[in-house]
Structures are given as C-alpha cells and as structure tokens.
C-alpha cells in the first residue's frame, strides 16, 4: 500500500533587501523593433538610450520599461 504524507506550509515572497541581494536594474525596449537598451542601475541611462533611438528611428515612439528586481522566498516554521 502506498501512503503519501502531505503537509501545508506557508511561504512568503518579498523583495530581496538583504545586503548581498542583486541590484535592481532598469532597461527600455523599443516596442516597434524589439531592440533593448543596456540594463543599468540608474534609470537615466535607459532614458538617454530612448532619446538616441528615437533620433535614429523617427517612427519608433513606443517603448516598454523593463525593471529587474530581486525577490526571495522564505518558509514560515
């Protein structure tokens, strides 16, 4: 006879604010051609990329912001 043991555990998901957490980074993607800026710690860099990209591609004026934020989980004991 097979017997399974099932137990309910409570987990929490939260932004990782530990000292060794990866940094939050920012990038932009052109919604017209799919090209991405470099990821940066300061949002000003991807914003500058958007201005340059628009200058080179006048019909590209729709973009997506891409934020990469570290998260962590922990189990309640």
Each domain of the chain, given as residue ranges in start order, spans 22-75
Residue 6: per-residue pLDDT? 81
Q: What is the C-alpha to C-alpha distance for residues 47 and 30, in angstroms, rounded to an integer? A: 12
Beta bridge partners of 65: 28
Q: What is the C-alpha to C-alpha distance for residues 61 and 45, in angstroms, rounded to an integer? A: 17
Residue 25: per-residue pLDDT? 98
Residue 24: per-residue pLDDT? 97
Higher per-residue confidence, 42 vs 8: 42
Model confidence band, residue 51 (pLDDT cutoffs 50, 70, 90): very high
Q: Please report, for residues 23, 34, 40, 44, the alpha-carbon distance to residue 37 in angstroms, rounded to integers and kept in the order given.
A: 17, 10, 9, 11
Q: Does the pLDDT of residue 3 top 90, yes or no?
A: no
């Amino acid at each position: 006879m097979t017997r399974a043991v099932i137990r309910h555990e409570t987990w929490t998901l939260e932004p990782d604010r530990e000292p060794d957490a990866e940094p939050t980074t920012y990038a932009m993607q052109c919604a017209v051609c799919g090209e991405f800026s470099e990821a940066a710690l300061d949002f000003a860099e991807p914003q500058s990329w958007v201005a340059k990209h628009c200058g080179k591609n006048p019909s590209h004026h729709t973009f997506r912001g891409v934020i990469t934020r570290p998260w962590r989980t922990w189990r309640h004991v």
